[in-house]
Amino acid sequence: MAQKQIIMGCFTFVKVMMVVFNLLIFKAEIILRAWAVPGLLENYGKDQDQVFTDLWNSTMTTLQCCGFTNYTDFCFLLP
């Protein structure tokens, strides 16, 4: 009986940790989005901030992605 309680306690702990981890990921995404999207709009491709552009280009190449959300993050570059 004690083993069953230990197993159930461990199972409950793992489930709680999964929920906490998911909440932290969600919060991190909100924080990153609040920084990244305005940064793309204000700094990407501008001569005065080549470091920002290089950082984004390197990140997108490494992760094989485009923008923070998707390619629409770059619609501001279209004429």
Joined together, the tokens standing for residue 48 give 């005065």
pLDDT digits (tens, 9 = 90+) for 34-57: 988 888 888 888 877 788 889 889
pLDDT for the residue numbered 78 = 74
Owning domain of residue 17: 2-77
Q: How many domains does the chain have?
A: 1
φ, ψ for residue 46, nearest 5 deg: -85, 140
pLDDT at residue 21 greater than cutoff 90:
yes
Angle made by CA atoms 57, 73, 27, in degrees to the nearest 5: 90
Average pLDDT for 25-35: 90
pLDDT for the residue numbered 67 = 86
The pTM for the full model equals 0.58
